[in-house]
Structure 1
Amino acid sequence: MHDISRTELDDVNALPRFNMPLELGLFMGAVRFGTGAQRRKVCLILDRERYRFQRFISDIAGQDIREHGDDVDRAIHALRSWLAAQPRQDILPARRRSRGGTGTSRPNCRRFWPRSA
């Protein structure tokens, strides 16, 4: 999920903060130019107004951007609706078979949360 609504001017420097649009660009580059799992990535793009992005990041035109109106409940609803519409294998971490070969599976969480040293 990429919420590009937080691109206001910084109070100290009077410059915009573009972390989320930059991260979205990196994500889209991985989807476009990556291989394997990188090309299958999907994402949700949120903004406070549906077409506001055209004023500062018009290169993402053509993406399905959902608006939340700066309302947390609407943002959560948009995320839940988007997740519900996605195939499970596209969203959940990779699964693996148990050693016993019983066919049960569990998330391979070590890949995402390595043990601390």
Structure 2
Amino acid sequence: MPFETDVFVNCPFDHDYAPLLEAMLFCLVHSGMNPRLATERLENGENRLEKIYGLACGAKYSVHDLSRCQAAAAGDYARMNMPFELGMDLGIRRAAEHLPSEKKFLIFERHPYETKQVLSDLAGQDVEAHHDNFETVIDKVRNFLRVEAGCNVPGAARITADYVTFQGWFLEKKLSEGHAEKAALRLPTSERLAEMRDWVAMGKPDSFGRR
């Protein structure tokens, strides 16, 4: 059932966050889950809020990363999309009569306790710190899926090693398709996600062309 395996991912989509996002998506796919992101479709005519609401309603699990909500420099504005979407998702969970089962959340911040200093309504809600470390993201997502989704997953070190193997396979494949190395590393998230699924389905080959 899609609801039971879909995971709504609410996070930044900028270049600096990309290593964390990719590690998160890989861990989800590796564990047999189906990540759902607002960027998975590029149709400009689609209402973004309606799309996000539909993704959140259709997923039992959600990962919300609030680590980029602060302004990066003096004069910049705070980034409010992530806490806004978390609030909407919490509302969906509270009005859960129409959902097949209760939604489960994993919430990230950069450093411990920083989010609750500015978002006191999260009191009572566990928030995990990742310190901008992709290995920590894999570890926290892995533990969340093991406990909350009952996924039969290996240890975080094994998943991290598989992630490194996938990255090499992915780059080899994209170079063989005619991409420059720099361009291959900046392909759309939806394309990278599709390749993760293919790599797992192929039996996690060590290199491109080898099964």
1:81 to 120, 136, 143: 143
Q: Measure the CA separation in 1 of the matches of 2:100 and 2:120.
A: 23
Q: Which amino acid letter does the alignment assign opposite residue 18 of structure 1?
A: M
Q: Which amino acid letter does the alignment assign opposite residue 82 of structure 2?
A: M
Which residue does 2:105 correspond to in 1?
43
User: Where in structure 1 are there 5+ consecutive unaligned residues?
Assistant: 90-117
> Which one has a larger percent helix, Structure 1 or Structure 2?
2
Which residue does 2:117 correspond to in 1?
55
Asked if 2 retains the 8 angstrom alpha-carbon contact of 1:45 and 1:64, the reply is: yes
Asked if 1 retains the 8 angstrom alpha-carbon contact of 2:96 and 2:102, the reply is: no
Percent same amino acid among aligned pairs?
33
1:73 deviates by 1.1
RMSD: 2.3
Which residue does 2:88 correspond to in 1?
26
Q: Measure the CA separation in 2 of the matches of 1:38 and 1:66.
A: 27
Q: TM-score, normalised by structure 1?
A: 0.66
1:50 deviates by 2.2
Runs of 4+ more than 3 Å apart: 10-13
- What secondary structure is seen at the aligned counterpart in 2 of 1:45? strand
2:129 to 67, 79, 92: 67
- In structure 2, the CA distance between the partners of 1:20 and 1:39, relative to structure 1 (3 Å rule), is farther
Q: Measure the CA separation in 2 of the matches of 1:65 and 1:39.
A: 22
- In structure 2, the CA distance between the partners of 1:38 and 1:58, relative to structure 1 (3 Å rule), is farther
1:55 deviates by 2.1
Q: Measure the CA separation in 1 of the matches of 2:79 and 2:100.
A: 26
Q: Measure the CA separation in 2 of the matches of 1:22 and 1:40.
A: 20
User: Where in structure 2 are there 5+ consecutive unaligned residues?
Assistant: 1-62, 152-211
The higher relative CO (CA closer than 8 Å, separation ≥ 6) is in 2
- What secondary structure is seen at the aligned counterpart in 2 of 1:25? helix
Q: TM-score, normalised by structure 2?
A: 0.38
Q: How many residues were matched structurally?
A: 89
- What secondary structure is seen at the aligned counterpart in 2 of 1:8? coil
Q: Measure the CA separation in 1 of the matches of 2:101 and 2:124.
A: 18
